[in-house]
Amino acid sequence: MEKTLSLLPDWNFLLSYEGRITRRDYWLKGQLFFFIVSFLLQVSSLYSLSMIFFILSLYSMVVINIKRAHDINKSGYFILLSLIPLLNIWVFIVLGFENSDPENNQYGPSPLPKRKTLSAYM
């Protein structure tokens, strides 16, 4: 069974800090999803609902950042560096742009699709 591409995050993606997520999922299901929802709530002048969404989404954003740190073979504690001014820019760049670890690591199997080698075609 093949995985289908979904731009909407599921509950495991939002609530469980175990495992790894790819750079694509980090941007599309994490950053972009929360940006769009927050923007729509602000535009619709639902400020109280917007604040409630922000408070509830804090946990999910921490979970997503931890899983992305796991994907580049760093501890979840790595994201604590983002609490330090100016260093937070570096953490954001590392999480957002560093390539995934293609091998399995201590945080789980690689979320990248398996690539076929030349020998698989012979």
- In whole angstroms, give the CA distance from residue 118 to residue 122: 7
Which residue do the tokens 């409630």 mark? 52
Q: pTM for this one?
A: 0.78
Which residue do the tokens 């983002």 mark? 82
Within a domain: 73 = yes
59-103, pLDDT tens digit by residue? 889 999 999 999 999 999 999 999 999 999 999 999 999 998 888
Q: Which residues pair with 105 in a beta bridge?
A: 108
- Dmax (CA) for the chain in angstroms is 61
Whether 30 and 61 have beta carbons less than 8 Å apart is answered as: yes
pLDDT at 93: 96
- In whole angstroms, give the CA distance from residue 2 to residue 64: 23
Angle of the 47-71 helix axis to the 87-97 helix axis, nearest 10 = 70
Within a domain: 2 = no
Please give the residue range of the domain that contains residue 101: 11-121
pLDDT at 6: 66
- What total of structural domains would you count in the chain? 1
**Among the listed ranges 5-9, 16-20, 72-76, which one has the minimum average pLDDT value?**
5-9
Within a domain: 54 = yes
